[in-house]
Structure 1
Amino acid sequence: MSVPAGFKRITLQLARSREFPQGSARHGYEIIAPLDADNRLDVETWRKHREACRVRRFWAGERTELGHLVHRAGGRGGSTWVFDYDAAAEDDDEAGFRLGDHVWVPGEYVSIRDDDGEMHTFRVVTVEDVG
């Protein structure tokens, strides 16, 4: 699948935590998504190119998960962004905490609730043009 112009490849790595005091490059996400001029997720472009908005979850010791970045109604502020690995299974979604409010630049931090309900903090490592 070709990705429209202006899409970015965003790499997140697990930030420091009790379990990983130095963080972990072996735990994270790679997201393909449109960003606006302020480096925030662009919901209008997402609506036009939903299939191109992808996520890859890599987690040491587990199989890689491939899915979509999805914008849904509900949540704080009236909407939320989730990572959906199986459209038929509602419980597989991982929800981001206010992902639409974040500026996606290296060094920033975001929080994502995994499918077990546990919140993890990730550091934005790279933001690159796709293609």
Structure 2
Amino acid sequence: MNRPAFKPILNTELPHGFRYIRFERARDHAHPEGDNKTAYIMIAPLDAESRIDAELARKHKDACRVVRRRPDREDDLGHLVHRPGGSWQFHYDLAGSNPDETGSHFEADRFEPGEYVSVHEADGLNVYRIVSVLPL
């Protein structure tokens, strides 16, 4: 599959609050041990309370990115998009009008290792555990 390349992020041009955030599928009835191969990697600015900083995200839209990782599939590259009303969505095709996934309550979630976040995906609402938050 031929995918458009991302313009590289120049870390030195981004504010200090930008983080590399990895979250993996949490334990549930279908995944009793969780699933570290079903994951997201998100590049986003966090504020002092470890929440997504919407103002910095607006100023640096192109740097707010997401990678969707699935077993036995090529990674999907996309953007984290802030929507009216405060919700956050993952778009893998920015030209499309519909989001691919939506973060459930990302505007209030704390992005710290050990915390949980939910993502509305094609098969419903799924829970992920944040496993790492690193400075860029």
| TM-score (normalised: structure 2) | 0.87
Aligned residue for 1:103? Answer: 110
User: Pick from 90, 93, 108: which aligns with 1:83?
Assistant: 90
What percentage of aligned pairs have identical amino acids?
40
Structure 1 residue runs of 5 or longer lacking an equivalent are none
User: Pick from 97, 100, 103: which aligns with 1:93?
Assistant: 100
User: Pick from 96, 117, 127: which aligns with 1:121?
Assistant: 127
User: Pick from 35, 55, 75: which aligns with 2:66?
Assistant: 55
SS in 2 for 1:99: coil
Higher relative helix content = 1
SS in 1 for 2:95: coil
1: CA distance, partners of 2:78 / 2:127: 20
Q: Are positions 1:2 and 2:1 aligned together?
A: no
RMSD: 1.2
2: CA distance, partners of 1:62 / 1:17: 22
SS in 1 for 2:83: strand
Structure having greater relative contact order (Cα 8 Å, sep ≥ 6): 1
| TM-score (normalised: structure 1) | 0.90
2: CA distance, partners of 1:24 / 1:59: 10
Matches for 1:27-46 after TM superposition, within 5 Å: 27-46=38-57
SS in 1 for 2:107: helix
Question: Residue 20 of structure 2 contacts residue 133 of structure 2 at CA under 8 Å; is this kept in 1?
Answer: yes
Deviates more, 1:23-32 or 1:2-11: 2-11
Shift of 1:92: 4.6
Letter in structure 1 aligned against 2:124: E
Structure 2 residue runs of 5 or longer lacking an equivalent are 1-8
2: CA distance, partners of 1:54 / 1:82: 11
Letter in structure 2 aligned against 1:121: V
Shift of 1:117: 4.7
Once superposed, which parts of structure 1, at least 4 consecutive aligned residues long, lie more than 3 Å away?
Answer: none
Question: Residue 89 of structure 2 contacts residue 99 of structure 2 at CA under 8 Å; is this kept in 1?
Answer: no
Aligned residue for 1:65? Answer: 76
